[in-house]
């Protein structure tokens, strides 16, 4: 056999052709023509000599080591604790911060002096602190002397007599006294993260505390003497600026705090919108609207990629860790004590990233490009209801109407009151669009294009009672938690007489979500909320959000007249809009067939147009695909997988129970659904439901249903947990509400075969 010069030395002349290209088992012998063709093919295909396995493995290992060594030069290493001047600081600690170059720790005393004797001794005699002026007294030096430390708040003789509040100057006393007196040499921060830079320097991210004097309300009577507020501003500094540890506690834990460096922090404070929020036990609790603003987000190339739970707040912003920006001081912490004025370039740059925490949060880049996660797993992450996109597609006209309303309210100021009613069926993006609009308007206000304003959101689902809307609003504006009656009186004064009773000259934009839950018998709460904006000089604008489009018509005339005719209606999403939203979520992830997304969008649009159901349907289809295929990385979600998810959704237990209901029970469910939607309340009375049921029977030639039969059917539905109902003994006065999703019930009734006329009803 002849070999070409290209293959000389690689294929032997004496080797048979069948050894070079062995025939498939069971095939006949090759003909001369096939041998000639294979000979030419063998000449054209070289067979390079493979390298030894050990050599290839060694080469790959060297390549990986070189790549790892190169990447380590650009990565920072996160730490759990650092030691500075013998003191250990850990993530989650609170600490003092040096704020000046000439900081001298010797000028701060370590002990408190008695205001009566001027000494700290004798040590065995307890020294108590006045809860108003924070000065110390030996219990034996008081006149008359005390035998035990009093429980609860205690005031010194000077404060009891009504003398002006005393206190040391900022330049003297202990570190705690210097901080609370407004001194410029110390600050208080909460350590959010610790890390080591590639050059070996160690830095930390600190979230700042503020004293009441630095808030827009100033120090009020209800503020504790040691009270501080946790702000949203986070800065990065070198660990050399940390001085010593402090304790910042919730009010319940403050009684057990030891040492002089103990403070109370009950509220978080947003300086941009001048509002307060009650803290929880977790400083780093995830709340998109109150996320700490770092102002400096790291790029993916600089990130480590692995985090401990303490650093989760960085990952939520799509960053792997903080970076040290240009001009950031390391020692001491000089880059921030007094925040830049709103509207300045420094303020805009420092606050720009904080806007991602408002309203709809951006999908983290880690969800799209997470290492080790399959494309299907990343698709499930971005389709989850908790991973909202940065923008709401297909709502441009509604967003423009809301923006126009707020801008007009800010421009008009106190000249006139303004109210806006936003309505639409559930799942149409009402609240998310409003919050996204407020985020963009906040950016304009920071840039100086709009007047600064306050923004407060009230979610009626979280209120114990409708009257607690007063408490929530007053607490957000002042940081003082009082009862509904006191809060209503204070708000009445605040929004009356030209706003002289208020603490801010800014316009307040109030968002009342789930407004229909505030409807009471006398409707006093809604009347006050929509009456205050029309007061002269009130500086209040209200945006009400509810699912019922005709809610204003069902309110009392005095409320409807103040609500006005300015409305924004969110229509259910169409098939094209649902498809656009799903593709926007899945941008960069090629795991869904286009027909599969269209199929899911058509199914949901035909029932309700709820975008949440469409996203959940696609997410479940991705889960089914991943479970059925072994190689999930190379799998595609097809129409069959979406169909499996749809069948699974409609084969749920409550769906089967509704299908198996008797004729009267299905008619009663239809009457409850229609009555609930007509009245705009989730719970309805049997008396009204029975009237509507009789109307359905008379209009469709059905036999009349007695009250006893309707009550018995409601009791059976309650035992199946399809509705929540009072005991049947109340008969016409029993209250009931649906305990199943409205969309599922509508689907069952529209596809009912035994009662044909149910398909023609409008649900």
How would CATH label the architecture of 396-570? 3-Layer(aba) Sandwich (3.40)
Cα(592)–Cα(625) distance, integer angstroms: 10
For residue 696, is pLDDT > 70? yes
Task: Check pLDDT > 50 for residue 244.
Answer: yes
Q: Can you name the residues that pair with 83 across neighbouring β-strands?
A: 88
Percent of the chain with pLDDT over 70: 71
Q: Is the pTM of this model over 0.75?
A: no
- Domain limits, the chain: 5-44, 81-110+174-349, 113-168, 358-391+573-651, 396-570, 660-760
Structure tokens at 649: 């959704």
pLDDT at 20: 33
Question: Tokens standing for 538?
Answer: 């009130």
**More confident site: 722 or 21:** 722
C-alpha–C-alpha distance, residues 47 and 7, integer Å: 7
Whether pLDDT at 365 is above 60: no
Q: Say how many C-beta atoms besides its own lie within 10 A of residue 24's C-beta.
A: 5
What percent of the chain is modeled with pLDDT above 90?
18
What is the pLDDT averaged over residues 183-210? 91
Render pLDDT for 445-462 as a digit per residue (tens, 0 to 9). Answer: 888 888 889 999 999 888
- The highest-confidence range among 338-342, 411-415, 583-587, 755-759, by mean pLDDT, is 583-587
Q: Is the pLDDT of residue 500 over 90?
A: no
CATH number for the domain running over 81-110+174-349: 2.30.30.490
Asked whether 448 and 405 are in contact (CB, 8 A), the reply is no
Instruction: Tell whether the model's pLDDT for residue 9 goes beyond 70.
Output: no
Per-residue confidence (pLDDT) for residue 330, from 0 to 100: 35
Is residue 303 predicted with pLDDT exceeding 50? no
pLDDT at 349 over 70: no
Contacts of residue 435, Cβ cutoff 8 Å, sequence gap at least 6:
289, 358, 359, 360, 457, 511
Is pLDDT at 421 greater than 70 in this prediction?
yes
| Residue 698 burial by Cβ neighbours in a 10 Å radius (0-12, 13-18, 19+) | exposed
Domain covering 113-168, topology? Herpes Virus-1 (3.30.40)
Query: Residue 175 is inside which H or E element, if any?
Result: helix 175-180
Whether residue 24 is predicted with pLDDT greater than 50 in this model: the reply is no
Sign of CA dihedral 286, 289, 295, 299: positive
Q: Which two tokens stand for residue 118?
A: 């001027």
The segment with the largest mean pLDDT, out of 65-79, 171-185, 290-304, 471-485, is 471-485
Please list, residue by residue across 77-86, b when 16 or more beta carbons sit within 10 angstroms of its beta carbon and e when fewer do.
ebbeebebee
The token pair that represents 659 in the structure block: 């299908």
Distance CA 708, CA 685 (A): 15
Dist. CA 469–CA 475, nearest whole Å: 10
List, in order, residues 6 or more apart from 416 with CB less than 8 Å away: 534
Residue 376 has pLDDT above 80, yes or no: yes
- Same topology between domain 396-570 and domain 660-760: no
Model confidence at 670: pLDDT above 50: yes
- pLDDT tens, residue by residue, 108-162: 766 667 767 766 666 667 777 777 666 777 878 888 888 787 877 777 877 776 5
Please tell me which of 12-26, 323-337, 423-437 the model is most confident about, judged by mean pLDDT: 423-437
Q: What local confidence, expressed as pLDDT, does residue 160 receive?
A: 72
Q: What is the mean pLDDT of the chain?
A: 75
Per-residue pLDDT band for 18 (boundaries 50, 70, 90) equals very low
What is the per-residue pLDDT across 51-72, written as a single tens digit (0 to 9) for each?
444 555 555 666 666 655 555 5
Q: Are 188 and 228 in contact (CB under 8 A)?
A: yes
pLDDT for 474 beyond 90:
yes
Q: Give the mean model confidence (pLDDT) for residues 181-192.
A: 88
pLDDT for the residue numbered 543:
94
Please give the backbone phi and psi of residue 738, each rounded to the nearest 5 degrees, phi first: -70, 140
Please tell me which residue, 747 or 326, carries the higher pLDDT value: 747
User: Terminus-to-terminus CA distance in the chain, angstroms?
Assistant: 83
The domain made up of 358-391+573-651 has a fold known as Helicase, Ruva Protein; domain 3 (1.10.8)
Is the Cβ–Cβ distance between 519 and 681 less than 8 Å? yes
Q: How far, in Å, CA of 438 to CA of 455, rounded?
A: 8
pLDDT value at residue 503: 54
Q: What is the pLDDT of residues 26-35, one digit of tens each?
A: 433 434 444 4
Higher per-residue confidence, 203 vs 388: 203
Contact at 8 Å (CB) between 460 and 466? yes
Q: Picking from 21-30, 90-99, 466-475, 531-540, which range would have the lowest pLDDT averaged per residue? A: 21-30
Q: Which one has a higher pLDDT value, 616 or 174?
A: 616
pLDDT, tens digit, 9 for 90 and up, residues 208-239: 999 998 888 888 888 888 899 999 888 899 99
CA distance 122 to 145: 15
pLDDT number for residue 374: 81
Whether residue 352 has pLDDT greater than 60? no
Instruction: Report, at the CATH architecture level, how domain 660-760 is classified.
Output: Orthogonal Bundle (1.10)
């Amino acid at each position: 056999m002849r070999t070409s010069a290209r293959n000389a030395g690689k294929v032997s002349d004496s080797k048979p052709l069948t050894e070079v290209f062995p025939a498939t088992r069971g095939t006949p012998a090759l003909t001369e023509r096939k041998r000639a063709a294979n000979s030419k093919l063998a000449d054209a295909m070289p067979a390079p000599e493979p390298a030894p396995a050990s050599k290839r493995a060694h080469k790959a290992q060297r390549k990986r080591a070189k790549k790892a060594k190169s990447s380590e030069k650009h990565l920072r290493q996160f730490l759990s604790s650092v030691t500075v001047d013998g003191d250990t600081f850990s993530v989650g600690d609170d600490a003092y911060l040096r704020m000046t170059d000439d900081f001298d720790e010797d000028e701060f005393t370590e002990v408190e002096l008695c205001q009566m004797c001027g000494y700290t001794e004798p040590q065995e005699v307890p020294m108590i602190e006045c809860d108003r002026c924070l000065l110390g007294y030996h219990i034996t030096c008081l006149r008359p002397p005390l035998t035990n430390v009093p429980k609860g708040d205690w005031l010194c003789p000077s404060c009891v007599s009504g003398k002006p509040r005393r206190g040391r100057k900022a330049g003297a006393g202990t570190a705690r006294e210097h901080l609370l007196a407004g001194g410029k040499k110390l600050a208080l921060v909460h350590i959010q993260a610790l890390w080591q830079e590639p050059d070996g320097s160690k830095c930390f991210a600190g979230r700042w505390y503020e004293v009441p004097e630095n808030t827009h309300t100033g120090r009020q009577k209800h503020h504790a003497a040691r009270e501080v507020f946790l702000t949203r501003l986070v800065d990065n500094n070198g660990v050399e600026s940390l001085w010593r540890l402090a304790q910042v506690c919730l009010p319940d834990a403050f009684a057990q705090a030891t040492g002089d460096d103990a403070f109370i922090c009950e509220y978080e404070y947003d300086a941009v919108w001048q509002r307060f929020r009650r803290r929880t036990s977790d400083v780093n609790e995830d709340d998109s609207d109150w996320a700490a603003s770092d102002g400096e987000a790291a790029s993916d190339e600089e990130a480590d990629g692995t985090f401990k739970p303490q650093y989760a707040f960085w990952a939520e912003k799509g960053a792997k860790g903080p970076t040290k920006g240009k001009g950031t001081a390391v020692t001491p912490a000089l880059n921030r004590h007094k925040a830049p004025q709103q509207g300045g370039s420094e303020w805009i740059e420092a606050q720009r990233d904080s806007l991602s925490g408002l309203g709809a949060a951006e999908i983290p880049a880690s969800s799209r490009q997470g290492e080790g996660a399959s494309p299907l797993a990343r698709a499930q992450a971005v389709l989850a209801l908790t991973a909202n996109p940065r923008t709401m597609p297909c709502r441009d006209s509604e967003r423009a109407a809301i923006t126009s309303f707020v801008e007009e309210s800010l421009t008009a100021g106190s000249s006139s009151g303004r109210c806006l009613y936003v309505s639409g069926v559930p799942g149409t993006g009402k609240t998310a669009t409003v919050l996204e609009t407020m985020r963009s308007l906040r950016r304009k206000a920071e840039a100086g294009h709009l007047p600064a304003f306050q923004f407060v959101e009230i979610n009626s689902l979280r209120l114990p009672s409708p009257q607690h809307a007063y408490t929530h609003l007053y607490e957000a504006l002042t940081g003082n938690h009082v009862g509904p009656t006191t809060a209503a009186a204070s708000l009445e004064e605040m929004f009356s007489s030209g706003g002289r009773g208020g603490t801010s000259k800014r316009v307040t934009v109030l968002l009342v979500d789930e407004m229909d839950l505030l409807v009471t018998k006398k409707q006093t709460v809604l009347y006050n909320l929509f009456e205050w904006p029309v007061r002269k000089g009130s500086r209040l604008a209200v945006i009400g959000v509810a699912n019922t489009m005709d809610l204003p018509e069902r309110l009392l005339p005095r409320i409807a007249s103040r609500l006005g005719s300015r409305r924004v209606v969110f229509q259910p999403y169409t098939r094209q809009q649902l498809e656009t939203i799903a593709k926007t979520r899945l941008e960069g992830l090629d795991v869904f067939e286009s027909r599969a997304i269209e199929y899911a969008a058509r199914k949901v649009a035909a029932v309700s147009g709820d975008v949440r159901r469409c996203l959940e349907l696609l997410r479940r289809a991705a889960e089914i695909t991943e479970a059925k295929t072994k190689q999930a990385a190379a799998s595609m979600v097809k129409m069959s997988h979406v169909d499996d998810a749809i069948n699974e959704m409609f084969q749920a237990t409550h769906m089967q129970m509704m299908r198996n209901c008797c004729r009267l029970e299905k008619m009663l469910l239809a009457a409850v659904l229609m009555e609930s939607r007509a009245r705009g309340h989730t719970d309805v009375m049997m008396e009204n439901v029975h009237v509507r049921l009789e109307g359905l029977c008379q209009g469709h030639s059905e036999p009349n249903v007695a009250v006893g039969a309707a009550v018995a059917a409601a009791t059976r539905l309650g035992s199946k947990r399809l509705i929540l109902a009072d005991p049947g003994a109340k008969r016409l006065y029993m209250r009931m509400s649906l305990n199943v999703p409205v969309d599922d019930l509508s689907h069952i009734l529209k596809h009912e075969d035994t009662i044909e006329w149910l398909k023609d009803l409008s649900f």
